[in-house]
């Protein structure tokens, strides 16, 4: 279960099931509109209403599985796992079945959140059904959490490869320490660990820049568009 691609694929399959259940319930309640779109002609309403809960479910399931797998490990098991993942070679076919690159996940999450929120605002879903305000906010929040978990795995692998990430305490680090570090960088509270590797420092720089973009643009736009549409 420590295999990233296994968690990604399982999360995607379960997210499809969740989206299908949501879609079926909405269809039964008459909440699925026809294929006409006021704002984005050519993008059927049912596509958006299937994809929106699907992405929220994927973020929740993937991050939940990741936390469950790594957070229960003790320091010794975690160190061995981090070293094992650091030694694992990336295969050429990995890009076809999913990427574990945190920058890629963050950019993908930002694009998905932006597109969904704009579509929701343009088509007036939030005026008709308040559930889409919460789903729109969940898309942005889920994408942000996905960014934090992706970078926590990056710092974990780097530490396992010997690119030391030092925390201000004597105990051996565990997964939650790297997750806390990723959250602090994402929220601009400042890193709580010292890095002794240029590659990790570069990863933190990219992380901070992407987090700034996400916080300043995506989250702000989500709140503005959704609640602006709702109040209008």
Q: Give the predicted TM-score (pTM) of the model.
A: 0.84
Cα–Cα distance, 15 to 18 (Å, whole number): 5
Per residue in 34-70, pLDDT (tens digit) is 544 444 444 566 777 788 899 999 999 999 999 999 9
What are the C-alpha distances in Å from 130 to residues 60, 66, 121, 133, 157? 21, 31, 12, 5, 41
Cα–Cα distance, 195 to 17 (Å, whole number): 41
Cα–Cα distance, 232 to 204 (Å, whole number): 40
Per residue in 203-218, pLDDT (tens digit) is 899 889 988 888 887 7
Mean pLDDT by 10 residues, the chain (232 residues): 83 95 83 51 68 92 94 88 70 49 70 74 62 81 90 88 83 91 88 82 89 81 66 54
């Amino acid at each position: 279960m420590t295999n990233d691609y296994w968690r990604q694929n399982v999360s995607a399959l379960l997210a499809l099931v969740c989206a299908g259940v949501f879609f079926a319930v909405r269809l039964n309640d008459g909440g699925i509109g026809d294929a006409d779109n006021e704002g984005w002609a050519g993008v059927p309403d049912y596509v958006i209403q299937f994809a929106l809960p699907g992405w929220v479910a994927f973020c929740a399931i993937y991050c939940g599985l990741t936390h469950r797998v790594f957070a229960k490990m003790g320091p010794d098991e975690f160190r061995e796992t981090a070293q094992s993942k650091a030694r694992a070679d990336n295969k050429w076919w990995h890009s076809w079945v999913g990427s574990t690159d945190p920058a890629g996940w963050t950019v993908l999450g930002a694009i998905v959140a932006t597109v969904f929120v704009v579509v929701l605002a343009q088509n007036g879903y939030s005026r008709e059904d308040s559930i889409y305000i919460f789903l729109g906010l969940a898309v942005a929040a889920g994408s942000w959490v996905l960014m934090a978990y992706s970078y926590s795995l990056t710092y974990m692998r780097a530490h396992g490869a010997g690119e030391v990430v030092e925390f201000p305490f004597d105990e051996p680090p565990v997964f939650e320490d790297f997750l806390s570090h990723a959250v602090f960088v994402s929220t601009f509270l400042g890193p709580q660990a010292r890095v002794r590797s240029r590659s990790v420092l570069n990863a933190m720089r990219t992380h901070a820049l992407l987090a700034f973009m996400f916080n300043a643009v995506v989250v702000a736009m989500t709140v503005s568009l959704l609640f602006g549409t709702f109040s209008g």
